[in-house]
Structure 1
Amino acid sequence: MRNLALHQITMMKDGPAGLVRFAAKAGLRSICLFTQSPTAADGSNMFPVVEAKDKAAFRALLADHDVTVLNAEYFPIMADADVSSYLPAIGLAGELGAKRIVTHVQDSDPIRAEDQLASLCRLAADHGLDVGLEFTGFAKGCNNIDKAVWLVGKLQQPNLNIAVDALHLFRTGGSLQKLAAIDPALIGYAQICDGPDFRISDDYVEEAMNRMIPGAGVFPLREFLALLSAEVDLDIEVPQFSGGAAFDPEQWALDAIAASRSLFE
């Protein structure tokens, strides 16, 4: 059975500490969490983060539950921000033992974006971290798999690789054929979820935050996973933020884990 990580937005109950405990109870060895969060309109964090002041306690919690951090978020390339501002959160990710940090290229100025992405890679390397470049339909500087491949090839940063999220792949015109044509070594990790159709869109944020359990939609997930090398890390990212008062986040996450495991049977 492949090692699967659970993304924090799949199980938000009790924050990052709750995620560690839940993952261990569910038999998972890895998680994906936030050391820096995207911000809401009022400037507050959209998602709970691991605070620097809690570093020692959180490291102990990880060790006690035999859980590791696969990915740390959120480190986008933005037109109005310098990646050096991320240094405290990058350093914290490294101290928590994360394998990589995740970025999206929001900046549509290619020269500036390439410069900032290269700088982010160097900062990450200083802390022993890889950088996962995730393409999405709403990240204008890298909004499909072709652009991601081009950027990785252009920058030639040894710790930079591509993240392939099933939803983003199929919403941005990607296909199994395109995925199969890519050098497998360029892909660092993949995210598992399902969707109801194969429409192409650059406006699907609502769907991205309310995904389908693997097997409940139409994405060819078994074939998708079969195209990835055994070294590719796998992340269960199946958020559901519109479940209502009766929504049980732990049961939802357990269903997502069971469905993801079944893809390998």
Structure 2
Amino acid sequence: MPARHPHDLDSNDLVLSHFTLGRHHDIEDRVRASAAAGCAGLGLYVGHYRRLEHSGFAPGGLAELLEQHGQCLAEIEVLRGWADPATTTDYLEVEATAWRMADAFGCRYVQAIGPYVGSITDAGRAYGGLCDRAADHDLVVGLEFLPFTNIFSAADALAVVEAAGRDNGGICVDIWHHQRGAADLDMIRSIPGERVTGIQISDGPIIPDDDDYYEDCLRNRRPPGEGEFDLAGFVEALRDAGANAPWSLEVCDEEVWDTDGRAHAVRCANGLRAFLDRPEPA
């Protein structure tokens, strides 16, 4: 089956986000895993893509691999530092890599995280600048709220997005940070649907496995349906909001990092389909 164009993906599609597998998981196995799970495409971390560039595999070899498996490169992760007035050379290099990825593969989405410095007005101005630069590469941007930053909740992220006022600027809504943060479905339901540019799905226990929030979210997520999160309510709230972004699987589980990625990806995708009322692929 030929690959879909990233900009054609919507809420009928699943995407295998980068961190569902290990940070530098073998790229061939990653692409095969996404295809085996019936995902339309996958995401890549900028740092991993730079490794592929340095090895000479990207962009040409990666393009051939994606085509071979009917996959597209849908997402780019992750931009942090866009809101710092003292922008560093390292950050600018990360941004430049993201733009190369978008230009080479037609990616739909790039993810951004905080913190920001100053006021909401300052953050909106900085986010607007990021959105303008992303628009030059035909990207939408998703600002992810993280309870360990000053963008704690969906409401905080929406305030920055609205202050920026850019058509291609939106929010990434990750169930992990919703459940472990504000846990307010009415807040999710109140987001304008067109502002939901990214959705990330996983599951987990109500009581964290690790008291360190950052480490816990990077290591201890579970496939949809294998934890205690209210996935059904979360999906319903996003549908009520009119969200039409693809459903991205971000199931960071250190127990599978050194294994064949296909089994984990298939398990995660089939778990999510149960909540979306979709059949498993034949």
Q: Residue 264 in 1 paired to residue 276 in 2?
A: yes
Amino acid at match of 1:51: E
- For residues 261 and 48 of structure 1, the distance between their equivalents in structure 2, rounded to whole angstroms, comes to 32
Cα pair 1:9 1:237 within 8 Å, conserved = yes
For residue 152 of structure 2, what is the aligned residue in structure 1? 143
* SS of residue in 1 equivalent to 2:194: helix
Q: TM-score, normalised by structure 1?
A: 0.84
Cα pair 1:6 1:30 within 8 Å, conserved = yes
Q: Residue 57 in 1 paired to residue 61 in 2?
A: yes
The farther-off stretch of 153-162 and 80-89 is 80-89
Deviation string 1:68-104 (CA, Å, 9 cap, x unpaired) is: 1221012113535356443421222212221011000
For residue 94 of structure 2, what is the aligned residue in structure 1? 86
- For residues 62 and 123 of structure 1, the distance between their equivalents in structure 2, rounded to whole angstroms, comes to 26
CA gap of 1:25–1:33, structure 2 versus 1, over 3 A, is same
Deviation string 1:28-54 (CA, Å, 9 cap, x unpaired) is: 2111111236xxxxxxxxx98542742
Cα pair 1:30 1:69 within 8 Å, conserved = yes
Q: Residue 162 in 1 paired to residue 174 in 2?
A: no
- For residues 257 and 29 of structure 2, the distance between their equivalents in structure 1, rounded to whole angstroms, comes to 20
Amino acid at match of 1:73: E
- Tell me by how many angstroms 1:223 deviates: 2.1
Deviation string 1:193-227 (CA, Å, 9 cap, x unpaired) is: 1121178x995112211202211222111221122
Deviation string 1:126-161 (CA, Å, 9 cap, x unpaired) is: 111111111111233x12111111111111011101
Cα pair 1:145 1:174 within 8 Å, conserved = no
CA RMSD of aligned residues (A): 2.7
* SS of residue in 2 equivalent to 1:73: strand
Q: Residue 10 in 1 paired to residue 14 in 2?
A: no
CA gap of 1:144–1:49, structure 2 versus 1, over 3 A, is farther
* SS of residue in 2 equivalent to 1:263: helix
Aligned partner of 2:267 among 255, 262, 265: 255
For residue 232 of structure 2, what is the aligned residue in structure 1? 222
**More helix by percentage:** 2
Cα pair 1:163 1:188 within 8 Å, conserved = yes
For residue 184 of structure 1, what is the aligned residue in structure 2? 193
Cα pair 1:16 1:33 within 8 Å, conserved = no
The farther-off stretch of 79-88 and 159-168 is 79-88
CA gap of 1:62–1:250, structure 2 versus 1, over 3 A, is closer
The equivalences for 1:58-77 within 5 A come to 58-77=62-81
Identity fraction in percent: 25
Cα pair 1:35 1:72 within 8 Å, conserved = yes
Number of residue-to-residue matches in the alignment: 253
Amino acid at match of 2:70: D
Q: TM-score, normalised by structure 2?
A: 0.79
Amino acid at match of 1:126: D
